[in-house]
Structure 1
Amino acid sequence: MADSAASMNRIMFCTVACLVLLVTLQARGDNLSKPTLLTYPGDVIMVGETVIFLCQTAHIGASRFLLECQRQSLPVEQSESKFTIVGVTLNNTCKYYTCQYCVQSSCSESSDPLNLYVRENFPPPKIFASPHKIVQPGDPITIECSSPYENVYFSLYKDNHLVVEDVNNGSTFRYKIKQTYDEDAGQYICKFKKTMANNLLLRSEPSDPLHIKVKDLPKPTISGETNYFDSEGLQIHCTAPPLNKRMWFRLISENGTEQEINDVESKNVTFFIKDPRHMENKYYCDYRIRIGNDFAYSKVSNAAITGSEPTDHTTANILRLLLAALILVATAAITFNHFNTLHRSIPLDQPSDNVTFTMESVVTATGQKPGNVYID
């Protein structure tokens, strides 16, 4: 019994000693892990926006939080881990922030510094053209400006002159030119402006320049023919004017782009269609050439209609028709000559020489007997 009581006393002593040591370490802050400082909506914000700092820790006993600023001599202290700054300006924000949390009289070490960048101008919007930056005279073109920010007003400039201002605030603006000519060519840029929550009007940086060019490329010629060795196959020939050494070709149907032949040193290409389901389609072709870092597209060719009512006859087709006609004429001539030869070679049945027909053996259609008839 004495041994058992001694053992229990030793266990209780160790437990109390551990608790005292734990409290002492907490009081000294030796086991308080370093917090993490987060910011919303991000570490790059605009003047006038609201920024939220969160001092994040896994310790459940934290009673005080401190947000420290590089420019301020005293930290901001509160009982919550979330700090909010409304209407950010260059004067009420710092470049670097850190935070701490405290348990009783002991505080953790500071978090890693967070770099907050405050912008006075929005980043530039994006600008691009569709379908292409180099278009044919008279073709339509759409210039689009876009921004990751909502509720902004865009302005479009051409050669530093205002073209149009957007009246509907959004995140995208489209400017459509129904027919593009030489006077529409030039350098375009986009800008936008936005009113912040505190009625502060901020503008964006200008977009990268977009160079619109007008280039007249004549349309290619197109022809189609059935593959002579494969009745279900089709060959489409596309021929471009001799404009450039390197050419890019495209075969188009009513369903869109069917095939492409890229970067060839020829103005003549042939597309092969093997699927019989495509034999009834209308086919077109175009080509493009490289101008600087961009491509210029030609006009689309006329249609090559294939199937039951073809409208395109190639030289090979015409030669086949002529050959078939010659064969038919030759066959008719041979057949005619054969029948003539056969007719001349068949002997007629004739009576023997010196046969005498008497009156008694000859009766006319009227039933009368003619005179004697002698046939040598």
Structure 2
Amino acid sequence: MCNPQGSNPQRNALTTELQDSADAKEPSVPEAPTLTSSVRGSSVELLCKAPLGSGGVQFKLFRVHQEIDKKTYSRKQQEAPFVLKGEESKKPNLYCCQYDNSMYSSYISPEVKSIVSVNPPSPPELKVHPSNDYIVTGQTLAFNCQTPPSSLNQRPDAFLLIRKSRGTPSSMLASPKLVSRSQQPSFSVEAMGREDSGEYACLYQLTLPKTGRVNSTASRPVHITVIDLPVPTLSLSHHVLKCVGSPSYPQASFALFRVGSSSPEATRQFSLTQHHAQFPITNRYDHDTPYQCQYNVQMGNSHLHSKKSNTVNLPCNKGRCASPSAGNPGSSDLALIIGSVSAGVLFLMVVSLLSFAIHTRLKTLALKRRKREQDHFWQQLHSGNHVVDLPLQRVDCEFEDFRRKPSLSEPIYDIPMSTFTKPPLY
């Protein structure tokens, strides 16, 4: 058993007698814990474990007779780990432990031969395509982490691509950022902005029998700078296409493209003082066709291309327009037929509406004219005062002698018949 107080036999005997006499009057002392050791890389872990059903809030570790470590918990624990690092883990010593006021554990001596110092595996080689120091936003980089050909006897478990921004300490692993982790040595990374600039490196991981998983040394870093080139603008004015780039890059070359074509229609070399270029419209251009422009700059050994500009359609020039595409004539004919039928239906609707409106108008005018004529007739009729004197004479006729001349007599009526200027009121 562990005896941190010393190894004097007489003193041990006296202590044993005192403990035996105390045991008869006081509760028994908690049972002794067990102490085990295990290797964790370049260190040794000692685990002090109380018996099942027991525990303590304070655990102590002793080297021979000296207390070298102590752990205190807020509530009872059954076990407590202690770690030996550096030179302590390499010396052959005796260790024991105790929890609270328990008995001491047995001495153990960790095996020094199991503590092996392992150097990290050899660094890989990192290659990138395109191999330019400068790239533009949106460009994709292809990294390839190549392990040493002869130093490895097993395949790596994983490959890691890391990045460290400029301006940090020179150590590559001081504050790296994990970009990607894969079981394959190839990585594809799209530069989203200037924050993706920095030093890129890769490493691989291996699982060794004695030390477990270890990381290799990082590869040589690759410097990448991401540049955000502004998108140019294209405009049409006075039969000239004008492409405007960025004032920050005056020494740029400009190119004019027809939409859908990868070959430029025309190019303009850079100017030391201007950041735009003009492309006069000639007859060789396809009119009524969209065009775009682009500029590129040289940074170090890299040629950087901006994104393409907005599209501008060239107007028809004296009736000359681009011929319709012959890729799908059936669609063009169908569109032409539908357009013609729509135009005919619309024309018939307009003619019908005009005819109905004209007929309604003529009918209204005829009714008004007839009414005016009737009003005029009655006005003329009522404006005159005509008197007709028709005296009626009595004629005496006798049946016996009806051939004789009739005798004249007074009129039958004293008031002659006449028309009235105004009709009587009833």
TM-score, normalised relative to structure 1: 0.36
Relative to the length of structure 2, the TM-score reads 0.32
